[in-house]
Structure 1
């Protein structure tokens, strides 16, 4: 049972929030895998379904990267409050939408209707926007009392730039998929998790690694 350490704060042990979040991430990964199925295509048509494979690979990578970002974020948190718990639930809710939108993209591509494909990719981009907007950086940048003593609120104020970049980039990918090209949008959606994976420990760490090359 958590001991109170201040108004609205819980004990420094954040294990309960981390354990619950890890369980949700594991369920999301499982749902993605369970939805994988052998495509029903005529002989020689497997390669025509490459956007489906790319969508699943992108979603798996996206969930993995969000788990990495979540882990590295909680390493910098000393204690929690009710607002942070709600913010964390918002992140988990957004990530939990990925199996659904991945299945929507898969079914649209398999049906071969260009309009539905565009709408499905736009929906995927919208989920990315919601997730970027929900990320914990926004809350933590305003609540330095929750952070480890060696972490300043400025760290998360800078990290908010990554979330804002995600809002703009996922919105752009959704518009491109809807109005221009579904394959081009899927490539952009794949590149974004790669960027967030490289910078999962923060812009500072990414800059340090690039400078030492």
Structure 2
């Protein structure tokens, strides 16, 4: 049985890998489309003052802002997933399961996006659900990158070691940023449940950590490229 799998024609395996990627793209497309379905303009009287129009449309504006943010997040995750897939030449059951785990959080976005609209100072659970959704996506991407770049490099195309390493580090830093920031926010709400100022300050932990890790990654990229340039002439000689 195992020998027949090994001798399976290569074009057939490429077609199966293409199906995995196309299925993922379809999930992204459906999730990003479902975001906008629930946003509808309210029924408005024929004659309203400018102020009354704004009051009537303010909830829709809020919904559209949340939709736009989720659209950006899903689009960004699609780009990251695309960057991962361009290095793949093979797949196995472990990759399929990890990819499905990632897609679970993608299809959850319409739910968490609609939930966050019900967030207020006394009910923060929808906000935490949304952050969990983001954290899950980043954790799953990091899990996939670790699996294909570190544990099963044979699943990827030969060469491009520097690009693979930098992409892996990018996913690792992205996951660590969200996981640490999310933990800081949750701990702040747990330790200071009545202090709104501390709670709002804790929101800045994610962008601050993202900026810090962005520069860490740039430094690592620069050092890696310097090392490659130094090694290349020596190999040539």
Superposition TM-score, scaled by structure 2 size: 0.64
- CA offsets 1:166-209 (integer angstroms, 9 cap, x no match): 322344456678964788788888x69x98xxx9xxx67x957x
Is the radius of gyration larger for structure 1 or structure 2? 2
**Number of residue equivalences:** 192
Secondary structure, counterpart of 1:115 in structure 2: coil
Q: Which 5+ residue runs of structure 1 have no aligned equivalent?
A: none
Task: Tell me which of 141, 152, 159 is aligned to 1:143.
Answer: 152
Show the counterpart of 2:107. 96
Show the counterpart of 2:176. 164
Q: What is the 5 A alignment of 1:179-198?
A: 180=196
**1:121–1:185: 8 Å Cα contact kept in structure 2?**
no
The separation in 1 between residues aligned to 2:71 and 2:189, in whole angstroms, is: 20
- CA offsets 1:1-44 (integer angstroms, 9 cap, x no match): xx84489x982452111110011111101110112223689924
Higher relative contact order, chain-length normalized (CA < 8 Å, sep 6+): 1
In the alignment, structure 1 residue 32 sits paired with structure 2 residue 38? no
Whose helix fraction is larger, Structure 1's or Structure 2's? 2
Call closer, same or farther: CA 1:39–1:166 in 2, change over 3 Å: farther
**2:88–2:156: 8 Å Cα contact kept in structure 1?**
yes
Q: Once the 2 structures are TM-superposed, how far is the Cα of residue 99 of structure 1 from its aligned partner?
A: 0.6
Call closer, same or farther: CA 1:100–1:85 in 2, change over 3 Å: same
Task: Tell me which of 64, 68, 83 is aligned to 2:75.
Answer: 64
Over aligned residues, Cα RMSD in angstroms?
A: 4.0
Q: What is the 5 A alignment of 1:1-150?
A: 4-5=5-6, 11-13=13-15, 14-38=17-41, 43=52, 44-45=54-55, 46-47=57-58, 51-106=62-117, 108-109=118-119, 113-116=120-123, 118-135=124-141, 136-140=144-148, 141-150=150-159
Superposition TM-score, scaled by structure 1 size: 0.70
